Structures are given as C-alpha cells and as structure tokens.
Amino acid sequence: MSQTIPNRTRGNGVRSADLLKDNDGWLDGRYRLLEKLGEGGFGLVFKAEQVQPIQRLVAVKILKAGMDTQQVIARFETERKSLALMEHPNIARVLDAGETERGQPYFVMELVRGRSITSYSSKKNLTLNQRLELFIPVCQAVNHAHQKGIIHRDLKPSNVMVMEENGQPMPKVIDFGIAKVLEQKDASVTLATGMDQLVGTPGYISPEQIEHGSSHVDTRSDVYALGAILMELLTGKALVTPMDLAQKPLHQILRDQVERDPPRPSSREPSLKGDLDWIILKALERDPARRYGSADELGDDLKRFLRHEPVRAFPPSRAYIIGKFVRRHQFGVAASVAIALAVLSGGITSTALYFEAEKNRIAAEDAGQNLKKEYSRSDEVMARQLTERRDYTESVAWLTRALRTDPSNTLAATNLLSLLQHVHLLHPTTPELALPEGAQEARLVGLSRQSNRAIAISRVKTADASKSILSIWDTTTHERRDQELPKGVIATCLSISHDGKNAILALDDGQVEIRSLADGTSLALQPKLPQSVLSLALSGDGQTLAVGGENGTIQVWDMNQLKRPALVLKSADLPVNHIVMDYLGTLVAVAQQVDSADVKGSAVVWDLSTGKTIGDPFETSDGISALAIHREREMIAVGLHSGTVHVGNFRTQTELLPPLGHPASVTCLSMNGDASVLTVGDGRGYLHAWDLRKGQPLTPAQTHDGEILIASQALEQGLVTSVSRHGEMEVWNTVTGERVHHRLRHSVAQVSVSPDGSMLIVAPRHEPAVQVWSTHQRMTTRRYLAGPDEAYLDTPMDGEDTPDAIKQAVARSWNRASSLLAAADAEGRVTVYDLKAQYEPLGPTFVHPPAVGAVAISEDGRLAATSGRDQEVRLWDVATGRPTGISIRHDSFVNALALSADARYLATVTDEGEIRVWDSHTGDALTPGLRQGMGIRDIHISADSQELVYLMQDQGWFSLPMPLVPTSPLPDWFLSLAEALARRRLTEAGKAQNVSLMEARNALAQVPKAAPDDSDIAYRWARWLLSDPEQRSLCPQEDEPFSEYVGGLGKKKDPSAQAEAMRYRNLTAGF
C-alpha cells in the first residue's frame, strides 16, 4: 500500500493533540505516539512505542508547535547531534532522529521511568550519604558530556530523573535540549544559541549566564547548576522557590542571583556545617574562576567527604577577609580614611586635632597590622589544605607568602620547616631542552642519571623527506648533540643500559643498536631481526636484553657479551606487541595479537636456559595490553584492553585469582619484588594496587586526570612512579605509603623513569622539547633505637588491689612517672586515676562514644586525649571531665596517641601508619602526614619534646625529630630558597608563578656560606637540603653522615639493627 506524503511546512501552529491524531500518531512507520509525558522550553515529549527493528517503549521529543523558528530548529539540531556524541550510563541515550510529516524535527531516546532526583530522595527518605552517592554519578555524567564538548545549560532537578534497575537507583540526566557545542566544526551551529537570549531556569542558571548570555557560558556554568541541585537535594529548599517567583518580579530574582552570595547550606540544614558548606558554596561561587573547574572535581570532593578525606573547597579569600575585617574594625579603618582626607583637605590645624589624629593613626596602624596577620593566617590555612591534598609545591608557595606578609607567623614557619625536611618536592632539574629545528615532539625518550644524559628521538621534516634524529643532552650544561639515524629508518624502542653508559635503540628495519652516551659510537647487535622490532625489555638487574619482532621472532642478548649473536626464539608468526623479563633475566614473557573469532590475545613464557616455552599459551578473549612476570612465584599477570587482569601460574596454566576488573583498558602493569603487590594503571586515569595474596585492593584506587601512560616500579627502593596523559605525576612509596604528586602544565607524549625512581624525563605533546625532573630523594629518615622486645617506659604491673575497671580496660596509658593512669572501657568511658592515692579518680569520668581506641595523659594529669571509632581525636580537661573544644578529625582510625610532658604537643598515629604532630592548644597541624608504614603499635614524645619515639611491629623502636618551632623570623633568602626548591611562588596579587631555573640558581647563590648569627635554624636547614642525599644526616637537626649511621647499624649484633641496615643498602648506592 502506498501513502501520499504531505508537503512539509513549518510554523503551522500544531498542537500536541494534533500530533497524536496525525497519521494515527505514527512517525515514519516505526514509532507510534501513545501519550504526552511533558513539555520543555522548546519541545514536547511523548511516550511512544517503537515497532521496528525491535519492539520497545521509548521517549520521543518533537519540536514544540508554534515555536518552530529557524533559530529554534538550529538549536534542536544541535541537541540531536550532541546527544549522539555521548554514551554514558547516567545520560539518557539517543536512539534515533527524524522529521514529522509536518516538518517538525524529532528524536527518539530511551524512556526514563522515574522521579526527579529531589522527589525520589524525599519519597525514599534517603540519608545524607545516600543522597550524595546518588548525586555523584550525575557529576560524572555531566563531566562526560563536557569532555565531548557539550554543555547542558539547563540542569535542574526535573532534568535529573531517577529510575530503579534491579532495585538500585539509577540517575539519568535528560533533556540536553539547549546544549552548546564548545568546539564546533560547523560554524552554522553557533546560530543555535544567540548571545542575547536567556537560556536556563532561575535558581539554577549561573550569574555569568544571566549577565552576559551564552557568550560567557562554559562548563563551570553547569557546575553552578549542579551546586544548586545539590543545595536543594540536601536542604530540601531551592535557591529560588515558587514563593519567590510568585512574590518578586523575575528581573529582581535574577539580579539577586548575580549580586548576592547564596545562603550557607547549614543555615537551612545544620548537619551540613563544615565540609559540605564549603563544597556547595564553592560550586555556587558567583565568580566562575572560584568554582570547581569541572563537574568531576565536584564529584571527587563529595567522594572525599564520604571517605572522610580532606576536601578541595577553599577557605575564605583575602577579599572575604578584608570585608569581614572592615566590618569588625570600623573605627580603625575609618580613622585611617579620615587622616587621609584631613591631609588632603588642608591638614591638622590645632594641637587638639593633632593629638586626636595621632590617636587615630595609631589605631589605624594597629588595624593594619591585624589585617596583615589575618592575611598571613589565611595563606597558612590554605597551605595546610594543600598539604592535606599532597599538593606540596603549592603549599610551599602559600607558606612563603604567609611569612612575607607576617614574619612572626610561627605556625607557618613551623609547617614550612617540617614540610621541607620530610617531603621531596617534585621539580624540574633542567629547563625545557629544545629538540632539533623542525621537530614537532619527541617520539621516544630516555634518561641516564649516572651519565647526566637525557635522550630523545624525534622526526624532522625536510624539503623532500623526513629523518629521525637522536638527541643527547648533558643535563648539567644543557648542551645538545644530534645524531642522524639511517635514512628511511624509524626508531621503535629506546632504553638505557643499567650502568647508564649506553642507549639501546630498536629500529623498524629489524636492527638493534647500542650507542655510547659518551662519544656516540654505535654497535649493531647480531643477528638483525627479519622485520621491525616492536617491543624491548631489560631484566631488572640490567644483565639481559630481549626484543620482539613483527613476525614473532624473539632475540635475547647477554649485556656483558654484546658481540656474541643473540639467542633466537621463534614464537607464532604474529607480532610480539609486548615483552617483559623477570628480574634476573631467566624468563621472557611475550604477548601477541591473535585475529580469530574466540581468541584475540596470546601470552607465552620462555625459559631462556632451555630455549623452550613453559606450558601452553595463555589465551584471552580480548587483546593483551600489558604483561608482568615473577620467576620465584611462577606468576604471570596479563592485562587486557577490556580492563580485566588475569593472574595465573605460567607453569600449571591455572588462574591464581579471580579476574581483576578495572574501569578501562589496562595501560601498564608491574609487580613488586616478592610479587605480593600488583600495580595497574588504566585508561581512565586510575592507579590500582592489588594484594596478590588475597586478591583484594591493597589501597583505594588513586585518581589521575587522564590515561596513565606509565607506572614504573623501582623494586629495590619500593617506589612506584606514575604519569598520566594529561601530565599528573605521582610518586608512591609502597613501603611507607607516602604519596607525592605534581601536575605538569601540559599533556604528555612520552615519559621515561630512571631505574631507581629518582628522576624522569618527559616529552610534552605537540611541543619540540623535553625536560628532566627530580622525583625522589631521601628526606628525614627514622633512627633505629632498639629491638621490638624492648620497653621504652617501665609501666606498673596490675596487682591484686588493681580495680577491675582498670584490669578490664580496652585502652590504657600512663604518664612518664607512672603516677597517673588513664583507662577506657568498651563503651568509651574514660577515667584518670592517681596511682599514688589508691586509684583515686582525678576528675569525673568522660565519654567518647561509641568506643575509644587509644588514650593519653599529660605528665601533670590536667589534659587527656582520646581517639574514637569515629576517627576523631578529642582533648579533655581532666579536672572537669569536659572537652577543651579541640577535636581533630582523621581520615582513618587513630590507634596510638601521645602528649608531651608540658601538654603542648599531641602526636597521633593512624592504622595506616601516618604520624602527625599537633598543637594541643589550638588543634593546628605542625607536620604533614609522616607515613612510616603500617604496623606502628605505640608512640611517645621524649621528655625534652625533641623526639617522637614509636614502635614498629616486628621491627623495633625508632625515632623521628619533633617539629621545630623557630624563635626568630625565617630570613627572606630562606623563603626564596624554599620557593626555588618548589619552583613555585605567589605574587602579592595571589597569582601562582613558576620559578625559572635561573631564578632558582640565584636563590641558591644567596644562601650564606656560614651560619648567620640570627638565622642558625634557616642555615642548618638550607645546608642539609642542598647536600648530597646519599651522605647527608638523617635529618637537619643532626650531623652524623648517613653512611656512618648505616655502617654503625651493621656492626650491631642486634638482628633488628642488622635488618634496618639491610633496608638501606640500596639507598646508599642510589639517588
């Protein structure tokens, strides 16, 4: 049967009822409109039945009748195209698009059956945490759209629907009806949003959108809308309510949004006071520059809140402080202004007026000094927040500005000294080293710490062809030497020999070369592979070299006998895309791509002593993207493009663990020395650490800002260095748990890490340069005191007269004189007893619910500290049994506490092995988190408050220096040195700047040659920081060279001391 298609006309004022009647509600013979679901600003939404090619219920959005202007149609077309770019489980998927018989565009999307996110949360009576967990995927969905270049611009609760799948809530972002494409290839698409139109909903539309229209809209406009939704979700009240719309004109409501700060969320819902106040208000900042930079950052901060981690929300700005200060000190500020006006208008004309003005001047000066102190305090607070986020270089910049503003800020000075002695600041050691003229970016890079050489291979275009250039820089003089590779040949792999003397090059003509970094001479290894070399590996000890070819050939050389022909192994006639070796170079594992219906990847292990494979190939249903192998445990880890990692025994071909899943393709794998930990980097930017003995995550996945390019493991040092495509670097000490990270200013094309993890070379994307970075040095190091069976303090034994309450206590602590005892029961009740007065309580019992894990008592018994299962540490006035008001929140459970003899300092230890020192009077942190490794069982502060003494289970007693509180201001040259080490500083206006290499050298030149009388502390710290890490003392407070300390340990007969000496055997040979 044939149908006559009516002429398609626009602007005919069709009603929704007409659409249901037209052609009996059919669209293109595939969709039948069933009922109207809703109406948006530019479209009608219908429930419809799809009959071809499959049968299902869908949602159909049709351009609203009577609004079909050319501009609106263009906007609608933008929506249809932009939705097609997105594929996310929390975004309503677009399924189809077309045009009605009346000429109205439509698109078909999945039918979302549910309620708005606010309505759903209210109906289900969700808890605070449940609401946050529901909201976080919304942030991730919006961020996905932003990554596709799409802004929603009309986010509100009704555009975030919640449906249930398998009994679990699933939020869906719908109606990208006014999306704006950020990077448009079709210039006509920009017509879809005119600059003079207000697109959005009051209360959710951003201030810049109200003021400037679409010309000022970017991803941060959606962040504002998300903040407004979050405010409503958690407080139950929108920024703009229906009552507001009924009582005020629209222009006044919009003006208020632009000119007034939003209310503090806790003013509506007190339980939000604290971090959630800052998170929501940061998202709702009127200035877009002060909001979260992306929806993911907002979601990540909410995750940090749920994990009880420090959040990224900022403290009050200086402008905020000034405003508050002026309101508090109206007299002093007004006096200052009055003096200025008096001088300008003719000055002081009488003695009485003079004395009055002088009085006002002094008041104004006092006000100015107080303002400086508030400035400095604000910078110091910001610095400590950055320290909590492990953004140490930025923290140094804020601390130095705090001290330049107010040199008497001892808290900032203490934190700066502590940070510099405990944390190595990741920094470049060279300027950006330019590639040869004509190069676009480095294709391969390498680094030799021993020879002070940086290496890069780049392609240089000439008039008639292009050529490959090997560039070698002296990293001390920055001079470059270029060598042209054979014409028409491309380098495929680059590595550096273990002794740092040679570069190893693999070429696409099958040749492998050894090139001297000293004089550039080369040795062609034999035999040459039949086809291109695709992969290369050095054994962990650097004694064996293996390469894999395009036709399945594997060749292995002894690095000590390179003139001998290679051992040639022939695998399946398939490309060897990945090759790895065990530490001693006795095994080679290769991965090959297979093109069959059921098998896409194959991994084979070769025994080099026999030249034969071990067992059958390990076949996978997806392509292999990474490999790792361990000889002693006969273990192989195979990472797939699907994100799965299989861990098996390569000899028995059995899987040792269930498959380990990851959110994206596995980009890199590495095992530690005893194969107890597997480190996995994936394409979504997560670094995972798996406990291979339990098959469980060892730590939460660490988020990077993009695909992880490398996760290099320095086995002897226990370091994992990871770098993302977008330039985020992190160094993780797997022994102590310490993590240090830094963000580069550019994306990364190539990166290579030195074998000891102390340095790396990075090649930026689309930039003709490379740069060398220092990533690790030995900083303040623990001192061994005694074996684990020794006792630090003699504590009384329980006797017959000991009360049962003390015998049954779950936590106990004595003062140093053993005259006082604090004891906690299972319900969190704590009593302090005077042991010399027949266990007489010193004060009333106090309670820290739900349970206490550790207690501490000051020497005089006036102050007590408790740690609870709520991860809080509280300080108590023992005489009254009341809290002092100091409560310190931790990220994990605190299992040990100590108070100094004078009760000035508090030391805490978490079950993750992090030690912190606090000012017990203010609750301020005096150190960054000092990660010493899990297993700390006890901690004390020495009698003179100079040392932290702690017990590591099965290892012994150790000490670390207490933070030093300087008695005089740190000199300006020292602040310049700190900025040079961090390569960062802040201007007076608050703008962050990089410190150039020349400026850093000038700062180092200002360091005095001898200790000045007024800055002995600064001088001691400077000389320690600038000395050889291999030889400098354990900490700035000591003088004994490190090698002498380790040598002394080796002479002790104590097995624990011997073990500690062995722990440092590689530190004295590296870095």
Q: How far, CA to CA in Å, does 44 sit from each of 9, 62, 93, 153, 175?
A: 18, 5, 17, 18, 11
Q: What residues have CB less than 8 Å from 669, skipping those under 6 apart?
A: 626, 627, 628, 637, 639, 645, 678, 679, 680, 681, 711
Q: How far, CA to CA in Å, does 881 sit from each of 508, 841, 845, 878, 899?
A: 77, 11, 6, 5, 17
At CA 708, angle to CA 702 and CA 713, rounded to 5?
75
Q: Which long-range contacts (CB under 8 A, 24 or more apart) does 113-116 make?
A: 113/163, 114/161, 114/162, 114/163, 114/164, 114/172, 115/161, 115/162, 116/157, 116/158, 116/160, 116/161, 116/162
Is 61 annotated as contributing to ligand binding?
A: yes
At CA 315, angle to CA 313 and CA 316, rounded to 5?
130
At CA 841, angle to CA 840 and CA 847, rounded to 5?
155
Q: Which residue type, as a one-letter code, is found at position 730?
A: E
CB 475 within 8 A of CB 772: yes
Render 207-238 in DSSP notation, one character per residue. Answer: HHHHHHGGGG--HHHHHHHHHHHHHHHHHS--
CB 470 within 8 A of CB 483: yes
Distance CA 295, CA 90 (A): 14
Q: How far, CA to CA in Å, does 256 sit from each of 213, 244, 250, 263?
A: 16, 11, 10, 12
**Listed residue (995, 994, 993) closest to 1003, CA to CA:** 995
Query: Residue 365 corresponds to which tokens in the numbers above?
Result: 């000066």
Q: What residues have CB less than 8 Å from 209, skipping those under 6 apart?
A: 153, 198, 199, 200, 216, 217, 221
Q: Is 633 exposed, middle or buried (0-12, 13-18, 19+ CB in 10 A)?
A: middle
906: part of which helix (H) or strand (E)?
A: strand 905-910
Only one residue has tokens 């030093």, namely 964
Only one residue has tokens 């006014």, namely 178
CB 491 within 8 A of CB 470: yes
Q: What residues have CB less than 8 Å from 624, skipping those under 6 apart?
A: 577, 578, 591, 592, 593, 601, 602, 603, 638, 639, 640, 641
Distance CA 948, CA 905 (A): 11
Backbone angles phi, psi at 1021, to 5 degrees: -65, -45
Distance CA 57, CA 418 (A): 63
Going by the annotation, the residues of the binding site for ATP are 61
Q: Which amino acids are annotated as binding site, given as ranges?
A: 61
